[in-house]
Chains A and B, each alone.
Chain A
Amino acid sequence: MPVPILKQGEVLIASIQAALTDKDLVELRDELARQVGAYRSRGVIIDVAALDVLDSFATRTLRAIVYIAKLRGASTVVVGIQPDVAFAMVQLGLNLEGVVTALDLEEGLDHLAALAGRSGGRAG
């Protein structure tokens, strides 16, 4: 199931709706890389609140998305990691080092707006 990506000002919001297969995640990565360029986006938010788990493949792909977006000039925030999901990640030794996270969509947008403010760009 493809992940819907909403465009809100200079920010792209990818809102994951259900458990994703590896292929869905890879498609999300490629689609975000494309849309960041197409819409000249400065920020990306990936809402993972609906994900049942974040396993080694998902964490690796999220890190890749963040780095690719960065190379394309956009900052990414991953939001909505559920408490159980976070706990399981820690227990297994998975990490999202280098990935900016926020509690929810609102906090993520605040973070991006603050970044935009600092760099003199328009806020999303």
Chain B
Amino acid sequence: MPAEVHVPIERELDIVTARQKGRALAGGIGFSSTEQTIIALAISEIARNILSYAQRGGVSISELDAAGRRGILIVARDDGPGIADVELAMRDGYSTAKSLGVGLPGAKRVMDEFELESALGKGTTITMKKWLR
């Protein structure tokens, strides 16, 4: 049974919890210490994104094992207002709230796969994967 954790994101401390659990899980999968830090950082950004824009949501982190290929899957979900212009939100330097506007593009850059689905009034789901090399 592959490892899996879910962290509800409702307050600032949850961001820390999510990235720490993500780091531990990544370590268990076999990611290097540097990769664990990169994964923790990416989780920190998408978890903060939930808190900044949707106030509440959750981050699920699990082990990927697909045909002998191992990796980590991180899914951040919220039922917030959604993102009107996904392309704009993913542009480096763009931000409507209190971040630098580098969080999401940065997370995308360090992951092997990154998908952002959003519908106005229905929330946002970010799915990202990183494979073990």
Q: Which of chain A's residues has its CB closest to B14's CB?
A: A21
Distance between A71 CB and nearest chain B CB, rounded to angstroms: 21
Give Cα distance in the complex from A20 to B15, angstroms: 10
> In the complex, which of the residues A19, A87, A89, A92 has the most CB atoms of chain B within 10 Å of its own CB atom?
A92
Please report which residues of chain B, range 19-40, place their CB below 8 angstroms from some CB of chain A when the two chains form the complex.
19-20, 23, 33-34, 36-38, 40
- What does DSSP make chain B's interface, helix, strand, loop or mixed? helix
Give Cα distance in the complex from A96 to B23, angstroms: 23
- What does DSSP make chain A's interface, helix, strand, loop or mixed? helix
Please give, as numbers and ranges, the residues of chain B lying within 8 Å of A94 by CB-CB distance.
Answer: 100, 102, 106
A88 touches B41 (CB 8 A): yes
Please give, as numbers and ranges, the residues of chain B lying within 8 Å of A22 by CB-CB distance.
Answer: 12, 15, 48
Taking the complex as formed, is B78 at the interface, i.e. its CB lies under 8 A from any CB of chain A? no
Give Cα distance in the complex from A93 to B98, angstroms: 17
Taking the complex as formed, is B118 at the interface, i.e. its CB lies under 8 A from any CB of chain A? no
Taking the complex as formed, is B124 at the interface, i.e. its CB lies under 8 A from any CB of chain A? no
Contacts between chains A and B (CB distance < 8 A), count = 78
Interface size on B, residues (CB 8 A): 29
A92 touches B40 (CB 8 A): no
Contact of B48 among A23, A52, A55, A87 (CB under 8 A): A55
Distance between A107 CB and nearest chain B CB, rounded to angstroms: 22
Q: Which of chain B's residues has its CB closest to A23's CB?
A: B12
Please report which residues of chain A, range 56-93, place their CB below 8 angstroms from some CB of chain B when the two chains form the complex.
56-57, 59-60, 83-85, 87-89, 91-93
Report, as a range, how many residues of chain A touch the other chain. Answer: 20 to 34
Please give, as numbers and ranges, the residues of chain A lying within 8 Å of B48 by CB-CB distance.
Answer: 22, 55-57
Contacts from B to A (Cβ < 8 Å) = 12-13, 15-16, 19-20, 23, 33-34, 36-38, 40-42, 44-45, 48, 92, 98-100, 102-103, 105-107, 109-110
Q: List 13 A-B contacts (CB under 8 A).
A: A19-B16, A21-B12, A22-B48, A53-B40, A53-B41, A55-B41, A55-B48, A56-B102, A84-B33, A88-B38, A88-B40, A92-B45, A93-B92
In the A-B complex, list the 10 residue pairs whose CB atoms are closest, starting with the nearest.
A92-B106, A84-B37, A55-B44, A21-B12, A88-B37, A88-B38, A56-B100, A88-B41, A53-B41, A56-B103
Contacts from A to B (Cβ < 8 Å) = 19-23, 52-57, 59-60, 83-85, 87-89, 91-94
